[in-house]
Amino acid sequence: MITVSEAKNHIIKHGKQPRVEEKSLSDALGFVLAETLLAKIDTPPFDNSAMDGYAFSFSNWDKKSALTVIGEVQAGSENSLKTAANEAIRIFTGAPAPKDVDTVIMQEKVERKGDKITLLDENLKQGSNIRPKGSQTKKGAVALQKNQELTPAGISYLAGMGYSKVTVYSKPKVSVIITGKELIKAGETLETGKIYESNGIGLTAALRQVGIEPVSVTQVDDVLKLIENAIKSQLSSDIIILTGGVSVGNYDLVPAALEKCGVEKIFHKVKQKPGKPLYFGKTSNALIFALPGNPAAVMTCFYEYVVEAIDSFTQKRHLKSLTLPLENDFTKKTGLTYFLKGKTTENGVKILNSQLSYMLNSFAIADCLIRLDEDKTEYKKGDLVTVLMIA
């Protein structure tokens, strides 16, 4: 049995080379750039007014006379008027500054009578209220670096320089296979021995939480051949997640089925609670996670391990790790890392009740998983712990 750190290192070590793809900019939210993007144009593409006001040449003004307004330019238009000494042009926000003007005075700071304006802004300087061409980004300069995640503002920024496509890291294709002959669907009669299937719907939601729609969610009975066929049909996926049948009981057929499918076992069993029977393997193409069947173990192993593999494809850290002080004492056994359902507060993080691996009532209201180290047995209020944010 290996430790949690060893298990995580194996997953990182066996991570696949990320794929890239070209995406429409408007569909690229949350993806990570696989290329450094250079500015396609100067932005702004031309000198323009930052205000509604009057544009004029500062050096061509005698610093005392009123200015004569000789024309107007609005955003989206062009104006080829030339101003002589002490002349101005009415201008609006975003409108291109006519060639020989270099200064704009806000409309609130002039007194206008007919076509004459008196300037009332004592702080006005040459260049005031003009946004110079290229002052945001110069054509050819780095706009966004490779490995930058695309946020809404980043998308708006790239659109503003004429980008409509970007090359990003692809999301992995993920298949889910649920095993267990005890599982029935909502609405079916709950005979003794049967339980409602919840891991398929829970994993689908968890995958959506990290932006992935599973390519398939299959449910199979505890029959070696059926499990084997289900695995074989999904081997073109990047990641296969199985649940159930991974312990050492006579009906724990998943490791055997994986072996028959040519999956190379990397590890089986981790010194942790919940999720001790966790299995990780690979083929030349796919990474395979076989999780135990208990719902809380499934969700814990997903967040702690499967997301790590997903991140290696998307090159994006989906879940944040924090170091926070505990708000309650906790005693545990030595030899196992514990992942406890927690809730962050203003003062730190609280360990919730109902921590057993088959219990989800605390998990349903948790916003984090608290990691308690293998060798430590006594945790006191105020002790700093590592917390994985899951909501």
> Cβ of residue 327: shortest distance to its own copies, in angstroms?
18
Q: Which of 7, 11, 67, 161 binds its own copies (CB under 8 A)?
A: 161
Q: Which stretch binds its own copies (CB under 8 A): 120-128, 166-174, 227-235, 296-304?
A: 296-304
Tell me if 127 sits within 8 A of 47, measured CB to CB: no
Task: Specify the residue, 180 or 282, whose C-beta has the smaller distance to its own copies.
Answer: 180
Task: Specify the residue, 119 or 144, whose C-beta has the smaller distance to its own copies.
Answer: 144
Tell me if 78 sits within 8 A of 99, measured CB to CB: no
Kindly identify the residues of this chain, within the stretch 166-185, that bind its own copies according to CB under 8 A: 180-183
- Long-range pairs of 14-17 with CB within 8 A, sequence gap ≥ 24: 14/266, 14/280, 14/282, 14/287, 15/287, 15/309, 15/312, 15/313, 16/238, 16/287, 16/312, 16/313
Kindly identify the residues of this chain, within the stretch 318-337, that bind its own copies according to CB under 8 A: none
Q: Which stretch binds its own copies (CB under 8 A): 3-11, 26-34, 255-263, 378-386?
A: 26-34
338 binding its own copies? (CB under 8 A): no
Count of C-beta atoms within a 10 Å radius of residue 250: 6
Q: What is the DSSP letter of 149?
A: B
Kindly identify the residues of this chain, within the stretch 130-159, that bind its own copies according to CB under 8 A: 131, 135-137, 143-144, 148-149, 151-159
Query: Residue 310 is inside which H or E element, if any?
Result: helix 307-314
Q: Which stretch binds its own copies (CB under 8 A): 168-176, 199-207, 224-232, 372-380?
A: 199-207
> Cβ of residue 284: shortest distance to its own copies, in angstroms?
30
196 binding its own copies? (CB under 8 A): yes
> Cβ of residue 283: shortest distance to its own copies, in angstroms?
27
Task: Specify the residue, 64 or 186, whose C-beta has the smaller distance to its own copies.
Answer: 186
Exposed/middle/buried for residue 189 (C-beta within 10 Å: 0-12, 13-18, 19+):
exposed
Task: Specify the residue, 48 or 282, whose C-beta has the smaller distance to its own copies.
Answer: 48
> Cβ of residue 30: shortest distance to its own copies, in angstroms?
8
Task: Specify the residue, 65 or 145, whose C-beta has the smaller distance to its own copies.
Answer: 145
Residue spans of alpha helices (H) in 78-163: 152-160
Kindly identify the residues of this chain, within the stretch 236-275, that bind its own copies according to CB under 8 A: 247-252
What is the spatial distance between Cα 140 and Cα 143, in angstroms, rounded to a whole number? 8
Write the CA distances from 348 to 33, 322, 337, 372, integer angstroms. 34, 10, 20, 15
SS3 for 30? coil
Task: Specify the residue, 2 or 307, whose C-beta has the smaller distance to its own copies.
Answer: 307
Kindly identify the residues of this chain, within the stretch 76-135, that bind its own copies according to CB under 8 A: 76-78, 92-96, 107, 131, 135
What is the spatial distance between Cα 19 and Cα 234, in angstroms, rounded to a whole number? 19
∠ Cα 283 284 285 (to 5°)? 85
Q: Which of 9, 36, 328, 361 binds its own copies (CB under 8 A)?
A: 361
Q: Which stretch binds its own copies (CB under 8 A): 225-233, 279-287, 295-303, 309-317?
A: 295-303
339 binding its own copies? (CB under 8 A): no
What is the spatial distance between Cα 207 and Cα 176, in angstroms, rounded to a whole number? 10
Task: Specify the residue, 85 or 190, whose C-beta has the smaller distance to its own copies.
Answer: 190
Task: Specify the residue, 9 or 377, whose C-beta has the smaller distance to its own copies.
Answer: 377
186: phi then psi, degrees, rounded to nearest 5: -55, 135
Contacts of 343 (CB under 8 A, 6+ apart): 349, 350, 352, 365, 366, 367, 368
Kindly identify the residues of this chain, within the stretch 41-70, that bind its own copies according to CB under 8 A: 41, 44-46, 50, 52
Task: Specify the residue, 20 or 359, whose C-beta has the smaller distance to its own copies.
Answer: 359
> Cβ of residue 202: shortest distance to its own copies, in angstroms?
3
Strand 103-106 relative to strand 67-73: parallel, antiparallel, unpaired? Answer: unpaired
Total interface residues for its own copies by CB under 8 A: 92
SS3 for 61? coil
Nearest Cα residue to 303 out of 4, 1, 2: 4
